[in-house]
Amino acid sequence: MNPLENLRMAFESLWANKLRSFLALLGIVIGVFSVTAMVSLGQMATAGITQDLEAIAGRSIFVQPNFNEGHDFSTAPIREEDLRSLEGLPAVVIPQLFGNLQYEARPGERRSIQLQGTPGDLPRLDPTFKIARGRYFTEAEARGGLAVAVLSDRAAKDLFPGREAVGQVVRLFYPGGGRLELTVVGVLAPPAGIFGGLGAAATVYAPIPLVWNTSPTARRGEYAFLVLSLKKEADAAQVKRQVERIFEARHGKGRYQITSTESFQDTLRSITRILQVLLGGIAGLSLLVGGIGIMNIMLVSVTERTREIGLRKALGATSSQIRQQFLIEAVVLTLLGGVLGVALAAGLLLLVTLAVPFFVYILSPITVLLALAVSALVGLFFGVWPAARAAALNPIEALRYE
């Protein structure tokens, strides 16, 4: 008796009890559906996170002085020589300055705002910067230290609520009292994606030499931090190690902190992975419950078909053939449930992708195969006992059974 025959017999007997088979199946459908959906949603979230993070921070490496207790940040500044030592790496090096200033929101009420000194033409150097209106100040304007500024979307809204910021003059105050008046030449586009909020600070971008000239704390030739915007072919981890080595060689261990957006992404990914395992595990419990349902139904089926089993044995079926018959029936049942569960999960994922653009549709073939394999295994595992009971039936007793 070949397996195909058994398979056909299994379908026939399941079909004969349509309602019961379907109800037994439901547990597996729900189990496979939840596991598949959870795992895939996790993958989709990870992909969404990666995409969004690249949109706001690109693939870049940050270099900044480490905060050492008892020392000022300025004890470990970044100088021109440091910039030159990084030449040759597959990245655009963007030195920047940083300061905390204030502006007058209403007469007598001052609020703080960030000032960031950058080279000119920043959007060309770092593709995560996008101009919404106006333009970025040019390299020449920057080098000349002209009193021009570009505002972040947030800053434009804070400084010029309800008005067009481009063309206006911003008046800022250093903590010491020094005044800075800048002409706004452009406004940046607001950052996109669910992590947009991270980059949504109110920031005024101004030429580096201007900050050197006007800030009471900044010293000419020293930068607050560096952004290395990685080129396409660059390996983030490798470049990060190289930068670490260069700064260690020049300044000693532990004075600079070097982070890459990829390590941040890795952290987020490991969080989503933990969530995925957790949720998948919980969903796995429903699969267990479904499996027990299958076992129950199979036991009922064995009891109900006691006479059939007795007859088959009398006609020459061996115990192992009977066992095989019931095992295959259980596996067919759970596998059907698995197929339905995966199909439902695929539908849900599609709906989620359509409803929330953050998610990218992912239903990997491995997930599908795994889901089907697991459902078959559930059938095998929970079918063993009922099948063994069927196989162990004494044909004489079974034929006498009413």
Partner 1 sequence: MVPVVEMQGVTKVYRSGSGARTVEVRALAGVDLTIQKGEFVALMGPSGSGKSTLMHIIGLLDTPTEGEYRLGGNSVRGLSEAQLARIRNRRIGFVFQAFFLLPRLTALQNVALPLVYRGLPPALRLERARRTLEAVGLGDRLDHLPAELSGGQKQRVAIARALVQEPDLLLADEPTGNLDSRSSEEILALFESLHQQGKTILMVTHEPDVAARAQRIVRLRDGRVVEGGRP
Query: What does the binding site for partner 1 look like in residue numbers (CB under 8 A)?
Result: 1-2, 5, 12-13, 16, 307-308, 310-321, 395-396, 399
Name the minimum Å distance from CB 11 to partner 1: 12
Name the minimum Å distance from CB 394 to partner 1: 8
Nearer to partner 1, 141 or 308 (CB): 308
Name the minimum Å distance from CB 331 to partner 1: 19
Name the minimum Å distance from CB 380 to partner 1: 22
* Structure tokens belonging to residue 3: 């397996």
Nearer to partner 1, 315 or 355 (CB): 315
Nearer to partner 1, 15 or 108 (CB): 15
Name the minimum Å distance from CB 332 to partner 1: 16
Nearer to partner 1, 199 or 310 (CB): 310
d(CA 64, CA 67): 9
Nearer to partner 1, 143 or 400 (CB): 400
Name the minimum Å distance from CB 391 to partner 1: 10
Nearer to partner 1, 13 or 217 (CB): 13
